[in-house]
Amino acid sequence: MTSAPASPTRPDTPVQREQPSAAREVFDILRTVGAALLLAMGIQSVAFQPYTIPSSSMEPGLVTGDYVVASKYRYGWSRASLPFDPPLGSGRLFGRDPARGDVVLFRLPRARQQVWVKRLIGLPGDRVQVRDGQIFVNGRGVPRADAGTVQDHDDPIWRVRQERETLPDGRSWLTYDRGPGSPGDDTPVLVVPAGNYLMMGDNRDNSLDGRFSPDIGVGFLPADHVIGRAEIVVASWRPGAGLWSPGHGSTCSPAGSSNRSVSGARTRRD
């Protein structure tokens, strides 16, 4: 009995794979976008968050249109440092005091949805006074040196005097002064309460800060309103050129590069 002849070998044919449905593709895209958003929110909640500067109260160190990155881990975390300011309890997790001279982003006590930026001048227990435009901390004047007269960056009709203030540890920064007799040039002795800070803008005659009562300025800033320390300027755009409108007044808007350090003195602007 003979067997049937073997059939000739046929070349392999490609395996037909099932094509993903449109619904599956949409799901995969949404899953990827969702994971990216969660990662971004996690980074902004824990480590860093960018903000844009819409006002001139921190000139010449920060000017309108600058985008700064705030580090949140420097001082620990509170509800103020979380996105959307959720209604959690008071206090700070792993809280640490900022250093005198730090540029700090914080939520305004009378309107927590507004984020402001100022320089820390007074720590808890400090006695701070301004006399003829010069800052005195615990009876000792912060040295200032004349750095020449320039046009105000955002208001060129004004000629302002630049002054360099220097702390005992060597940290220094430039300030603007429009001349004697301006509101805030002379204050009583301000004793910073425990758990609070005293903040000032570098544009001394154009800043509603801790020298003014909390109904028009900042007053004393509670520690749990602090968001983080301004570290670097990552971009500098003209007003209105950002992805989000920065609004008005002295607030900062979240945003998202000229890397310039702003933790102490600002490097020269290009």
Residue extents of the structural domains in the chain: 64-261
Q: 99 and 120 in contact (C-beta within 8 Å)?
A: yes
Highest mean pLDDT among 35-39, 165-169, 256-260: 165-169
**Residue 18: what residue type?**
E
The yes-or-no verdict on residue 159 having pLDDT over 80 is: yes
Measured CA to CA in angstroms, residue 105 lies from 8, 32, 129, 160 at distances of 79, 32, 22, 25
Which runs of consecutive H residues, i.e. helices, occur in the chain?
22-46
Q: Who wins on pLDDT, 30 or 65?
A: 65
> Which residues fall within 8 angstroms of residue 168, CB to CB, at 6 or more apart?
none
Strands (E), the chain: 48-52, 66-71, 103-108, 111-122, 127-131, 134-137, 140-141, 144-151, 159-166, 172-177, 190-191, 196-200, 221-222, 226-236, 253-254, 260-261
Q: Is 72 one of the catalytic residues?
A: no
User: CB count, 10 Å around CB of 217?
Assistant: 21
More confident residue, 150 or 96: 150
User: Pick from 256, 251, 186, 213: which is nearest to 56 by CA?
Assistant: 251
Cα–Cα nearest to 120, from 192, 50, 71: 192
Say what the pLDDT of residue 78 is.
76
In this model, does residue 48 exceed pLDDT 50? Answer: yes
pLDDT reading at 238 higher than 60: no
Q: Of 207, 165, 163, which Cα lies nearest the Cα of 53?
A: 207
Instruction: Give me the catalytic one of 81, 118, 207, 253.
Output: 118
Averaged pLDDT of the chain: 78
Residue of 57, 81, 236, 253 marked catalytic: 57
- Taking the C-alpha atoms of residue 227 and residue 88, their distance in angstroms, rounded to an integer, is 14
Provide the phi-psi class of 159: left if phi over 0, else alpha when psi is between -120 and 50, else beta.
beta
Cα distance between the two ends of the chain: 97
SS3 80: helix
Q: Is the dihedral of CA 251, 254, 258, 260 positive or negative?
A: positive
Query: Which of 1.10.287.470, 3.30.1360.70, 2.10.109.10, 3.40.50.2300 would CATH assign to domain 64-261?
Result: 2.10.109.10
